[in-house]
Amino acid sequence: MSKSQATGCPECDGRLRTNSSETVCASCGLVVAADHIDHGPEWRSFADDDTNPERTGAPLTRSRHDRGLSTEIGRSSRIKGRKRRRLARMRRQHNRARISSKRERNQVYAFTEIRRLTGALSLPDRVRDHACSLLRSAQNENLLRGRSLEGFSSACVYAACRVAGVSRTVDEVLAVSRATENEHGAAYDALNRDLGLPVGPISPTEYVPRFASELDLASSVERRARELAAESHDSGLAAGRNPSGVAAACLYTAARELDVKLTQKEAADVAGVTPVTLRSTYYDLRD
Amino acid sequence: MNREDRRSISRQYFSDERLAEHHFRSFNAFLGRGMQEVVDEKETIDTDIGDKEGEEPVYVELGDVRVVTPRVREADGSEELLYPQEARLRNITYSAPVFMEMSIVRGGEEEEEVVVDSTETKVGRMPIMVGSERCNISGFDHDELVEIGEDPVDPGGYFIVNGSERVLMTSEDLAPNKILAEYDTKYGDEIQVAKTFSQRRGYRALVLCERGRDGLLEVSFPSVSGSVNFVTLVRALGLESDEEIVHRVSDDPEIVKFMLENLEEADVQTTEEAIETLGKRVASGQGKNYQLKRANYVIDRYLLPHLHEEGVEEEEVRINKAFYLCRMAEACFELALQRREADDKDHYANKRLKVSGDLMKDLFRTALNKLARDVKYQLERANMRNRNLTVNTVVRSDVLTERLEHPIATGNWVGGRSGVSQLVDRTDYMGVLSHLRRLRSPLSRSQPHFEARDLHATQWGRICPSETPEGPNCGLVKNFAQAMELSQNVEDEQALKRELASMGVEGMPGLEGVEPTTADD
């Protein structure tokens, strides 16, 4: 708003009156200032205002190489001919300029790969973001040299899952990954050694809900299996055993207890272990 | 009919199931056949692999598409059925996984074609309309609905995206593939124009046939700037002799006179010449071979695309296009001779409604194209890095999901339309009902458009005569009448045509016993 409001009308020195949209001289009618700011209701929801102070733009994200701060040259059907061709050239140059180094290019590729993996495994966004920042730190530590990007992408996703307490088995990750088992292993070892991942042994409880829903078991079975898994974890029964085998055994035991039909083979197949592994844990659980 | 009967019929029309019936029917048709149609249109995803020396080309074949019912994947990896109320409370999307059969095929150049990998893979998630046939609550009775926390009298017919309920506004468009004759002014003179919005597979092209002040006919269509002489274009399409052109337009002596004027002015006599002339227009300054190629491409691609049909030869399609243009010319002349009146754009016979299923089909088409581009990129990338090509590792399921959810969440539809999806009006129960049965005209609300806002006689029984907002949207936003029935397009056009042919309709393209005449709707 202009200063003239305090001084009076610039033409006749009359008194100024301001209503919601403009400042008018009360005596001569001169419009001194028109308010271009719309004081009307803002056309958006204020539901999340106290949690999210942002007003515009996409949020910053660690899962993009430029943290989501990229710009793009848009398209318009109104621009024709020479100008259109010029814009197309500019767009091409702009896209090329987005990636400045080999390092960044690798990052873009790995991040796309991580996105694909987390999408295929239906992992939440925070796991994806964590996987991406793991990759970023790995790159800063020069761990990627001589190891494959695909391996690192899948290892980062695997590690992020473990850290977040929603472990996936290596086989599950490898099933959707482009990496071979060796590449994945090498990358995960490097991550674990040099970044010191805060991971302990996997608790079989993390596997139980997923296996239960894959086997289409009732929630009562799942609940009992979870109890068994927690017990076995606490009592040290699970120590030194394959956690997915323990999870399968817990499900099998729970199903037996509740008289639900489930064969050892079915349970073992979902967990990717042999029925023999399952059986040995089952005997211990029963005792 | 006595009063009691009338009353019970009226009550039936206003029962729960009928209120959002048009949304359900449209969306169910989309799930049932629309999605598969879109996938079949796409058919394959081609890649640039194989452009290099000694490399075999690779492409992806798309097969059956399948949608299950909505479910949610928790962080721990377990998957459960999702009910609408849970989606609302947890601010998640009420959507179902979409699976598609895909096979990667390599070869065809020197080696034989081999299927490298073929599986049904999850390609993304499709938001599901509450109450539609793929909704988890469909078929539930009153008690079951209460049990899962759903309002038993809720009409459904909307989507839940990120916890907010969004309804897709029905939009009222001008009927495609129909000749509309009307007057227009050009440089202060009144001229006659025949218009057709030709639509096929989501591609929409406006074809105009104008009769100028000097009585000469000109046609304009996309990809050609300005307009092309009518006779030139018709000759390019293979309708060569003067006699045939005149005969195809009309046998009316006055119209024949007009037509002869046009033919006298024509600068080309043969099809070859005509295509050359057209080539100069569409690719001026280019080599001659390219000009011819381009002219043929433009004719087949951009001119009256709706005349392309399954089972009709390219040759025949061209001549059909010529006949269609002649019909448009006839409409212009008839209008000039005052044999007919200008078509009424506000007549409800000239309107089509785009309901949620049609809108979702548009959306799914662009989303699938985006997915295809991503698959192509991922395949090329994987191939370049010498990885095994498997279906599971080249499909990014969030591409499709994102493209489907974002427009519904924001209302910014494909093709630059905005406000297509709206937050369901939950002010009160009546508000919801009214909102689900609302329709919107795409005309700008900042312009007067007096005729479009007026109540038209043909709206009787279809559109409520009184329910419309005050202010700028007055008459552009309408509401369905209580007993409105919305008919759907035919499932199998070919079968309909065969049926019509068996009843004695002659000259339909693509059917036996062809004596070609123009295909009209």
> Which residue ranges form the domains of chain B, and what is each CATH number?
3-172+351-480 (3.90.1100.10), 178-337 (3.90.1110.10)
Longest dimension (CA), chain B: 82
Q: pLDDT by residue (tens digit) across A60-109? A: 778 788 887 778 888 877 777 788 889 999 999 988 888 888 888 899 88
Per-position b or e across A269-283, b if 16+ CB within 10 A of its CB: bbbbbebebbeebbe
pTM over 0.90: no
| Residue A109 touches partner B, C-beta closer than 8 Å | yes
We find that the CATH architecture of domain A204-286 is Orthogonal Bundle (1.10)
A115:B74 CB<8 A: no
**Res. A114 pLDDT band, cuts 50 70 90:** very high
pLDDT at A42 over 80: no
Give me B46's structure tokens: 């081609």
Residue A49 is predicted with a pLDDT of 66
Longest dimension (CA), chain A: 101
A210:B77 CB<8 A: yes
* Burial (CB count within 10 angstroms: exposed 0-12, middle 13-18, buried 19+), residue A223: middle
Single-letter amino acid code for the residue at A105: R
A210:B397 CB<8 A: no
The third-level CATH classification (topology) of the domain covering A102-194 is Cyclin A; domain 1 (1.10.472)
Indicate the angle between helix axes B397-410 and A102-120, nearest 10 degrees: 80
Q: How far is B390 from chain A (nearest CA, A)?
A: 9
Q: Are B296 and B284 in contact (CB under 8 A)?
A: no
Kindly give the confidence (pLDDT) of every residue in chain B, 521 residues in length, as a single tens digit, with 9 standing for 90 and above.
Answer: 789 988 888 888 777 677 888 999 999 999 998 899 899 988 889 888 877 777 888 889 999 999 999 998 887 778 888 999 999 999 899 999 999 999 998 887 777 888 888 889 989 999 999 989 999 998 888 899 899 989 888 888 999 999 899 999 999 988 888 888 888 888 778 888 888 888 888 788 888 888 877 878 888 888 887 788 888 888 888 887 888 888 888 888 888 888 888 888 878 888 888 888 888 888 777 777 888 888 888 888 888 888 887 767 777 888 888 888 888 888 888 888 888 888 888 888 889 999 999 999 999 999 999 999 999 988 888 888 888 888 888 888 888 998 999 999 998 898 788 889 999 999 998 899 899 999 998 877 777 788 888 899 998 989 999 999 998 888 889 999 888 888 888 877 778 888 888 888 877 776 654 444 455 55
CA distance B486 to B135: 22
Which residues of B lie inside 8 Å of A (Cβ-Cβ)?
73-80, 122, 378, 381-382, 385, 387-388, 392-393, 395-398, 401
A176:B80 CB<8 A: no
CA distance A106 to B109: 33
Residue A223 is predicted with a pLDDT of 86
Helix (H) / strand (E) containing B456: none
| List of residues 6+ apart from B521 with CB closer than 8 A | B175, B177, B178
Single-letter amino acid code for the residue at A219: S
Residue B209 is predicted with a pLDDT of 87
B199: closest CA among B358, B305, B301? Answer: B305
| Residue A166 touches partner B, C-beta closer than 8 Å | yes
Q: pLDDT by residue (tens digit) across A214-234? A: 888 888 888 888 888 888 878
pLDDT at A4 over 70: no
Helices vs strands, H then E, count in chain B: 18, 18
CA distance A235 to A287: 13
Helix (H) / strand (E) containing B314: helix B314-336
Pairing of strands B58-67, B170-174: unpaired
DSSP structural state of residue B32: I
CA distance A254 to A245: 14
Q: Which of A109, A176, A212 sits opposite B393 (nearest CB)?
A: A176
A122:B73 CB<8 A: yes
B23: closest CA among B506, B480, B379, B494? Answer: B480
CA distance B366 to B359: 11
CA distance A197 to A172: 20
Q: Are A202 and A167 in contact (CB under 8 A)?
A: yes
Single-letter amino acid code for the residue at A172: E
Residue B382: closest CA among chain A residues belongs to which residue?
Answer: A178
CATH 1.10.472.10 in chain A: give the residue spans: 102-194, 204-286
Q: What share of chain B is helix, strand, coil (3-state, %, to 5)?
A: 40, 20, 40
Residue B228 is predicted with a pLDDT of 84
Q: pLDDT by residue (tens digit) across A218-277? A: 888 888 888 888 888 788 777 778 888 888 888 888 888 888 888 888 888 888 888 888
Best residue of A46, A82, A213, A226 to probe chain B, by most B CBs closer than 10 Å: A213
Q: Are B171 and B424 in contact (CB under 8 A)?
A: no
Single-letter amino acid code for the residue at B297: Y
Q: Looking at beta carbons, which residues of chain A come within 8 Å of B73?
A: 122
Q: Which of A112, A178, A209 sits opposite B77 (nearest CB)?
A: A209
Residue B334 is predicted with a pLDDT of 87
Q: pLDDT by residue (tens digit) across A127-179? A: 999 999 899 999 888 888 888 888 999 999 999 998 888 888 888 888 888 88
Size of interface A-B (CB pairs under 8 A): 52
- Strand order from edge to edge, sheet including A16-18: A16-18, A22-25, A31-34
pLDDT at A1 over 60: no
A213:B392 CB<8 A: no
B77:A175 CB<8 A: no
CA distance A39 to A20: 8
Per-position b or e across A87-118, b if 16+ CB within 10 A of its CB: beeeeeeeeeeebeeeeeebbebbbbbbbbbb
